[in-house]
A and B are shown apart, each in its own frame.
Chain A
Amino acid sequence: MKKTHDSPPAFELPKAKTGIHGLDEITGGGLPRGRPTLVCGGAGCGKTMLAAEFIVRGATTFGEPGVFMTFEESAEELTANVRSLGFDLDKLTRQKKVALDFVHIERSEIEETGEYDLEGLFIRLGHAIDTVGAKRVVLDTIEALFAGLPDHGILRAELRRLFRWLKDRGVTALITGERGENSLTRYGLEEYVADCVILLDHRIVDEVSTRRLRIVKYRGTPHGTNEYPFLFGADGLSVLPITSMRLDHKALNERVSTGIAGLDAMLGGKGVFRGTSVLVSGAPGTGKSTLAVSFADASCRRGKRALLFCYEESASQMLRNMRSIGIDLGPSIEKGLLRIHAARPTLQGLEQHLSDMHRLVREFKPALVVVDPISNLALTDNDTSLKATLMRLVDFLKEEGITGVFTSLISEGAAVVADTQLGISSLMDTWMMLDNHEANGERTRTIQVVKSRGMAHSNRVREFLLSARGVELIDVYMPDSRVLTGSERMVHAARAQAEKAGSAKKKARAGQ
């Protein structure tokens, strides 16, 4: 199965890995080797940072020295700016792995008369390439020349020659350009760089900023065509998703307990499959968090690490609340089996949350991840990005063979509709729905397994009890084909027992 995916097509363009998290995945292996690539986008969308990481990763990870020619910032400014991403250009320059050249032209100093060409630029670039033996070149952003040189006719002809020359030198070049009004770049650089064009975008949605990356074109290569969110982290850029081009994660046969005996019994007696995703949805106060944390607790008791993302309660509040129903998470935390990450959903954008999750999961390597709740992450009701984010998270967890448990808050009564609207139920392998059942002046909690892929599961609605002993599931009482819950059930059960006892006594007496 896996083999068919990995076998290369008959012809594949040679590629140069960028080393940027996620970008190599969506480009199918990196930028076109030996050809120029255009990266365009508005001001402040991260063009320079992407370019810098391309150079730094090339020099440090792939043994390909690079030349960074900057037209806007001085070498010192650039070095300072990329230090925030953890890149030390100074050191790389000293090691002769990277050459920086600041090309500065002052329009007011320059007068032009007669014919000229940009051979000076070629010589500088060529010299820099030769000095470090560069395989990679960044020009950031060459459009500054348009402001400095009045004769655009000569400039355009020279740019055409420059890109041709870069190809002849066999360097993998990355050229940045400012986004124009009606074109990809202000001065139409896309006209010259036709092999690969990457568009960056920085937008504010509901006061939260998100950065997106899209591959506009990539000649001769199938590529992801979607807009992918990307972020600046402490260790450079990461483009998300890491893996959503394919749907080929391995299905595991191992089962993991839910931590609740009654619930395991509903799921064929063994719990859910490892590496699947579980959705626990319900109205407020139905016990979603408790159920989800039971999963984590069970995992820790098996000696497997669990990671808990709380977007509603602080870690200590969560611990206290769980203790009240007899689940003590303290020892697991001390043993390093459980980690709780609590944050406000509004603290940052969805993508940043997702990136944090990725990072923590990679760091901690848990067997089970709980997100409580996912519905809080959406800032508005019809936030379509939530589904995409979740899909990425689910994919990522599945790829790693990690069981995911997600809780989702839904308003009472609108249970099924709401979750379908959110569109996440189809991503989930197991869906448990919690509900409040109100009758005879009391509420009782019920649970049902709406679906559970690949296993026999109970179709019964069970009563769900939270007590100091933990979570218990009780068979609903069904005399005269009527579902009885809560005290009604207890009365009925007591009466039935009394009757039984009474009849036993009678029998005993009769026997005497």
Chain B
Amino acid sequence: MSTGTAAKAKKKAASSPEWQLRLYVAGQTPKSVTALDNLKRLCESHLAGRYEIEVIDLLVNPTLAAGDQILAVPTLVRKFPEPIRKIIGDLSNEGKVLVGLDVQPIGKAPS
């Protein structure tokens, strides 16, 4: 199934980008700021033009925490491509984040 959806994304006909990432934070804490900075930098260098980041502040929308089973913050959720992956922490270790997201450092989408 995931290959099918990935293929669809590759056509770029779909309006939504290939990588949909969601970052859960709780207020503007140093940890969440660091996490967002790390995430932006990483996406720009490896997934440029093919990603979308949605930041959800749980202090503003506490009800959203249950949906993605969020306990730790910051938590990065890879909503798409499936399956869902979660990475908790301030994303300071780029290598680990790439492994966690299953992104190949060269910038290629997973085969």
Task: List chain A positions with a Cβ less than 8 A from chain B.
Answer: 101, 103-106, 109-121, 123-124, 126-127, 145, 149
Interface flags for B61-72 (1: CB within 8 Å of A; 0: not) read 011011001111
18 example contacts (A-B, Cβ-Cβ < 8 A) are as follows A101-B66, A103-B71, A105-B71, A109-B85, A110-B88, A111-B86, A111-B99, A112-B72, A113-B88, A113-B89, A113-B92, A113-B100, A115-B89, A120-B24, A120-B58, A120-B72, A120-B73, A126-B62
B41 to chain A, nearest CB (A): 14
User: Which residue of B62, B72, B73, B96 is within 8 Å of A127 (Cβ)?
Assistant: B62
Cross-chain contact A104 with B63 (CB below 8 angstroms): no
Cross-chain contact A109 with B72 (CB below 8 angstroms): no
A494 to chain B, nearest CB (A): 94
Which B residues are CB-close (under 8 A) to A106? 69
A469 to chain B, nearest CB (A): 77
Cα A111 to Cα B35 in complex, Å, equals 14
Residue in chain A with minimal CB distance to B68: A120
A74 to chain B, nearest CB (A): 11
Cross-chain contact A111 with B96 (CB below 8 angstroms): yes
Given contacts A111-B87, A121-B71, 11 further A-B contacts (CB under 8 A): A105-B71, A111-B88, A111-B97, A113-B93, A114-B34, A114-B90, A115-B89, A116-B75, A116-B90, A118-B72, A145-B71
Task: List chain B positions with a Cβ less than 8 A from chain A.
Answer: 24, 26, 31, 34-35, 38, 58-59, 62-63, 65-66, 69-75, 83-93, 96-97, 99-100
Q: A111-B87, A111-B99 are in contact. Are A116 and B92 (CB under 8 A)?
A: no
Which B residues are CB-close (under 8 A) to A119? 26, 58, 72-73
A400 to chain B, nearest CB (A): 49
- Point out which of B75, B88, B91, B93 has the most chain A C-beta atoms below 10 A from its C-beta: B88
Residue in chain A with minimal CB distance to B83: A109
Which A residues are CB-close (under 8 A) to B38? 114
A117 to chain B, nearest CB (A): 6
A99 to chain B, nearest CB (A): 11
Cα A126 to Cα B34 in complex, Å, equals 25
User: Which residue of A101, A126, A149 is within 8 Å of B72 (Cβ)?
Assistant: A149
Cross-chain contact A105 with B69 (CB below 8 angstroms): yes
Cα A127 to Cα B62 in complex, Å, equals 6
User: Which residue of B26, B34, B73, B87 is within 8 Å of A112 (Cβ)?
Assistant: B87
Cα A145 to Cα B58 in complex, Å, equals 20
Cα A127 to Cα B89 in complex, Å, equals 23
Which B residues are CB-close (under 8 A) to A116? 31, 72-75, 88-90
Cα A351 to Cα B105 in complex, Å, equals 66
Which B residues are CB-close (under 8 A) to A145? 71
Which B residues are CB-close (under 8 A) to A113? 87-93, 96-97, 100
Q: Identify whether the interface residues of A are mostly helix, strand, loop, or mixed.
A: mixed
Cα A120 to Cα B26 in complex, Å, equals 7
Residue in chain A with minimal CB distance to B69: A104
- Point out which of B35, B65, B99 has the most chain A C-beta atoms below 10 A from its C-beta: B65
- Point out which of A104, A116, A124, A145 has the most chain B C-beta atoms below 10 A from its C-beta: A116
Which A residues are CB-close (under 8 A) to B24? 120
B61 to chain A, nearest CB (A): 9
Which A residues are CB-close (under 8 A) to B35? 114
- List the 3 closest A-B pairs by CB distance, nearest first: A111-B100, A114-B92, A114-B89
Which B residues are CB-close (under 8 A) to A111? 85-88, 96-97, 99-100
Which A residues are CB-close (under 8 A) to B84? 109
B98 to chain A, nearest CB (A): 10
Cross-chain contact A120 with B70 (CB below 8 angstroms): yes
Cross-chain contact A110 with B26 (CB below 8 angstroms): no
User: Which residue of B59, B83, B99, B100 is within 8 Å of A123 (Cβ)?
Assistant: B59
Cα A330 to Cα B69 in complex, Å, equals 65
Cross-chain contact B100 with A118 (CB below 8 angstroms): no
Cross-chain contact A110 with B58 (CB below 8 angstroms): no
Cross-chain contact B90 with A109 (CB below 8 angstroms): no
Cross-chain contact B75 with A120 (CB below 8 angstroms): yes
Which B residues are CB-close (under 8 A) to A114? 34-35, 38, 89-93
Cα A41 to Cα B83 in complex, Å, equals 36
Cα A412 to Cα B95 in complex, Å, equals 85
Which A residues are CB-close (under 8 A) to B71? 103, 105, 118, 120-121, 124, 145, 149
Cross-chain contact B99 with A115 (CB below 8 angstroms): no
Which A residues are CB-close (under 8 A) to B100? 111, 113
Cα A145 to Cα B71 in complex, Å, equals 10
Which B residues are CB-close (under 8 A) to A101? 66
Cα A118 to Cα B89 in complex, Å, equals 10
B78 to chain A, nearest CB (A): 10
Residue in chain B with minimal CB distance to A104: B69
